[in-house]
Every structure is written in structure tokens, then in C-alpha cells.
Amino acid sequence: MLTQIKGLHHVTSMAADARQNNDFFTHKLGLRRVKQTVNFDAPDVYHLYYADEFGTPGSVMTYFPFPNIGSGRHGVGEVGTTAFSVPEGTLPFWEKHFSEQGVTVEGHEEKFGEKRLKFSGPDGDGFALVEDKADNRAPWLKGGVPADEAIRGFHSVSLRLKDGGATEELLKFMGYQEVDRSGNISRMAVKNGNGADVVDIESLPSASFAGLGAGSVHHVAFAVENRAKQLEVRKALMDTGYQVTPVIDRDYFWAIYFRTPGGVLFEVATNEPGFDRDEDTAHLGEALKLPTQHQHLRSYLEKHLQPLDN
């Protein structure tokens, strides 16, 4: 069993409109845009990062807004719900806030003894807020949401799979343990993690497969401290038979990727070097930052990328 993985690092999804996406996360959810850059493989498409003040691993939601992309089709083989942690007793505030902001609320539920508020993103993204009285992570204080109610970071992701068994075994190998089970949902958690410690696996054997598009999660990334730990994880996964990419420099972290038995794309990302490697912490996300190989496109991209308004 691996011990290097400390919970979630980031979740990356797809959207249809950059300005709408930016407004949703910075104004409606009150997160901080900590980086505006571009897709390494499609530089005419933004890569937008939203998080806490510093872009702390375990709080980072990222998006590729592809203009005019078709809508995703929800099903199995995908991340069904991305859940954020909020303080105990704050769901009434958020329900009122969402009503005022025009955010679609899908309803309340209680799962594994936790109160949850389900809501949708602008592209039909599946989200939830989960009350967690034990979460002492610091929120972003300048997002328009009071500190006592603000999002602390990720709580969990929920994977929808035809058969969760093989992915459960993979997560156990990655250092997770089953801590609870309810019906067709298994709750996996990593001990002594970074606060974003939970992965739920929902087995839906009769459901149809998901189709990637706007509102879909592209991949979910797990956090390791540094490159040395990442190489240990990569070797262990490859020794177990997984096809893992070489280490890729993503400017703000190093990444490796592999496909899980249930079809979800996993990444293992380093906590280093962080989002302040090319911007002062006070000004994260304010300027367009480009990977070295795309610097020559700056004048073109500054004219053709959709303005974000803030």
C-alpha cells in the first residue's frame, strides 16, 4: 500500500464559456481565481484555476472552457459529483445565496451522516456542498462570501462506475481505506490527508456510459508532496501493471496520468512548485500566464481569448 498520496490535489473539468465559468466560481461560489493560463495542447483554450487564497492542493478546481463544445452526457465511467466542504450549519445560507444568484439547487440529502446541498454548475456540472465541522482549512476571504460560511476546499469526489470493485482495490493500493458503505456506495478515505480526503464509489451496473463534454470532469488529481514521492508512486503503479505517462511539467506542478479500471482518468500531481512560481501571491490569477512553448502566441491570444471581466 502506498503512503505518499495525501488526498485530492485538483479536479479538472470542461466548460462551454470562459466568462460564465469564471463568474460562477469567483462570484457565485466565492473562490479565488489563482491562475489564468492556457491548455498545453490547445493554446487557444483557457486553463482556469479556482481555489483558496494560495491555490492549496485539495482546494483547486480547474477548467478547460472550449468555446461551443457540446454538452456532456452523464453516466458511468466518470466523476459524478465534486463536493466542497463548508462549515457546519451553513447550508441554509448557501441555499438562500444560490437562490439570489440564480444557481440551480438540486436538493438536500444526508449521506454517511453528513448534510449535503446538491447544486448544478452552468453546464450541468454535478456539485454538492457538505457540512464538515472538523474542517479547519482557511477560506478565501475576498470572494464575497462571509468567512464563517465560505468554502474550505474539496470534501470529496464521487465516482460513478459500472462495477466499483477494481477501482476500490486500486484506491486501497494508493493508500485509501474503506471507512463506510451504504447500499451501492463505498466510501474510501486516506488517513492524515490534506483535508480533501474522501472518494466515494457508486456502482451502477445497469447505467449507460458517460460522454465527455461541457459539464464533465476530465480528470481527478491526487496530491503528493514532491517529485521524489511522485516517482515512487509512478514506479509502484507501473510495477502493478498500470500504463502511466512520463512525468509532465505543468508549470505549477508535475503530473503523471493513468486510466483506472472504471474508466476515470487519474492524475498524481506534486504540491511543488505552486501557483506563486510566476506571480506574487497578492496578484494570483490577474495576468494571463503562458507556458514557455506558447509565449510566441501572446499577442494573438490576448486578442482572441474571451475577456473574463475580472
pLDDT value, residue 282 = 97
CA distance linking residue 142 with residue 52, whole number of Å:
10
- How does residue 68 score in pLDDT terms, banded at 50, 70 and 90? confident
The number of beta carbons lying within 10 Å of the beta carbon of residue 101 is: 14
With a cut of 90, say whether residue 301 has pLDDT above it: yes
d(CA 259, CA 273) in angstroms, rounded, equals 25
Residues 198-236 have pLDDT tens digits of: 999 999 999 999 999 999 999 999 999 999 999 999 999
Provide the percentage of residues in the chain whose pLDDT is more than 70: 100
Q: How large is the C-alpha radius of gyration of the chain?
A: 18
Q: What is the mean pLDDT of residues 118-147?
A: 97
DSSP string, 82-98: EEEEE-TT-HHHHHHHH
Whether the CB-CB separation of 271 and 58 falls below 8 Å is answered with no
Q: C-alpha angle 293/49/105, rounded to 5°?
A: 145
Residue pLDDT, tens place only, 146-200: 999 999 999 999 999 999 999 999 999 999 999 999 999 999 999 999 999 999 9
Summarize pLDDT for 28-56 with one digit per residue, the tens: 999 999 999 999 999 999 999 999 999 99
**pLDDT value at 271 more than 80:** yes
Query: Please, is 50 exposed, middle or buried when counting C-beta atoms within 10 Å of its C-beta (0-12, 13-18, 19+)?
Result: buried
Phi-psi map region of 68: left, alpha, beta (phi>0 left; psi -120 to 50 alpha): left
What's the pLDDT at 309?
79
Which pLDDT score is estimated for 146?
A: 97
